[in-house]
Amino acid sequence: MPIVASKMAHIAGYMWYNLQTRTGLLIAALVLVLALALGSALSINHRSALSLTAAATSHASQESTNIRVFTITGNSMDPLLKNGQTITVQMDAYASAPVNRGDIVVMDGPAVYGRIVKAVKAIPGDTFAFAKQPDGASQLIVNSAVVKNSIGEPYRLSPARTGVIGLYIQEYHGVIPDNAYLVLGDKIGGTEDSTVFGLIDAGRIKGKILTE
């Protein structure tokens, strides 16, 4: 199996598992089909997903605590976070505190990526929708406001990038359900984020970035 097809199969499997915990089999099947259909269109962006690797050995003493230091590989959070940048993550940040809109989090992504970094853009109870633009792209609207990246640019998603989230909008009547979060990278055209694998369960969020 080609590398790209193999990666999309991992992503599709992740989405299938993720969706069955919250939605009916029909919606899961539809999202699965969309994921596979998007494979070739998204293949050039696979390396934009952010993975985390342990930082320099000088930080090794911190690895036994709940504060860990990692190095970013990839550019899906650029311009907020750069490839090669060192970050500090509080791994127990959400043990006694809620995930907030705007948090930059470490989460379990599809198996092919391991842990990745994304920005939380919508939390349970938030309304979400798309506003189609004259050029065919769509802006994401959360609580009646246009969602923007770290430098104030509105996300502009192609039709290929709106299908997965669109299914959730339809299924949940435009309201983020309990225990679910919408996460995005910092690139306005979308990355390997909720535009690909859908909303995520709270259990997949593993830590909060303390330094940028």
Contacts with 2 (C-beta within 8 Å, 6 or more apart), sequence order: none
- The DSSP string of 141-183 is EETTEE-B-TTSPBP-B-HHHHHHHHHHHHHTTTBPPTTEEEE
- Report yes or no on whether pTM surpasses 0.85: no
> Which 3 state secondary structure label does DSSP give 91?
coil
Whether the pLDDT of residue 10 is over 90: the answer is: no
- The one-letter amino acid code at 209 reads I
For residue range 115-127, list pLDDT tens digits in order: 899 999 999 999 9
For residue range 89-107, list pLDDT tens digits in order: 999 999 989 999 999 999 9
Is 67 in contact with 106 (CB distance < 8 Å)?
no
Domain boundaries, the chain: 47-209
**Mean pLDDT of all residues in 57-81:** 73
Q: List the CATH code of the domain at 47-209.
A: 2.10.109.10
**Mean pLDDT of all residues in 10-18:** 48
Q: Which pLDDT does position 154 carry in this prediction?
A: 98
Whether the pLDDT of residue 41 is over 50: the answer is: no
